[in-house]
Amino acid sequence: MTRIPAILGAAAALCLGAGLSAVLPDRAGAQSCSEIRFARGASSGEVSGRVAEGEALCYSFGTGSGQTARLQLFGSRNTCFAVLGVVDCQEDFSFRTQAGTYEVYVAPLFRTATYETFTLRLTIN
């Protein structure tokens, strides 16, 4: 997990308009991301985790050009994901891909005294 300075987490909780990017680590100090893997022959894969205030979990996936990637977040009403360079703070989002690797960060949206558990599903068609 990436530890986010409390001031950034508080700012994100106070200003939804700032979105999840307010709690993402800068690229210079970025963590390594866990790869979202698919079972052989499957078009989707899931990862589960838990995050606390001021933390973000990073996942990655690779795609070819022109595919459609859909990410869906389940299990918590207080988490959202951001796809670096694509979209900020979503629970369900689809987009056309470029060839390459994408990073997805999951973090709590508002202040929380407990961990937020979630499942993130990735489908690529």
Alpha carbon separation from 46 to 3, 10, 16, 67 (Å, rounded)? 23, 29, 26, 18
Q: CA-to-CA distance for 38 and 65, rounded, in angstroms? A: 18
> What does the pLDDT read at residue 112?
85
Enumerate the β-bridge partners of residue 50. Answer: 117
Provide the percentage of residues in the chain whose pLDDT is more than 70. Answer: 75
> What does the pLDDT read at residue 25?
53
> What does the pLDDT read at residue 2?
46
Q: Which amino acid is at 78?
A: N
Q: Supply the mean pLDDT for the chain.
A: 82
Strands 116-124 and 87-90: unpaired
> What does the pLDDT read at residue 3?
42
Over the stretch 65-98, which tens digit does the pLDDT of each residue have?
999 999 999 999 899 999 999 999 999 999 999 9
Please give the domain boundaries of the chain with CATH numbers for all domains. 2-124 (2.60.120.380)
Closest-CA residue to 82 (of 51, 37, 45, 43): 51
Mean pLDDT of 14-23: 44
Mean pLDDT of 38-63: 94
Enumerate the β-bridge partners of residue 105. Answer: 58, 82
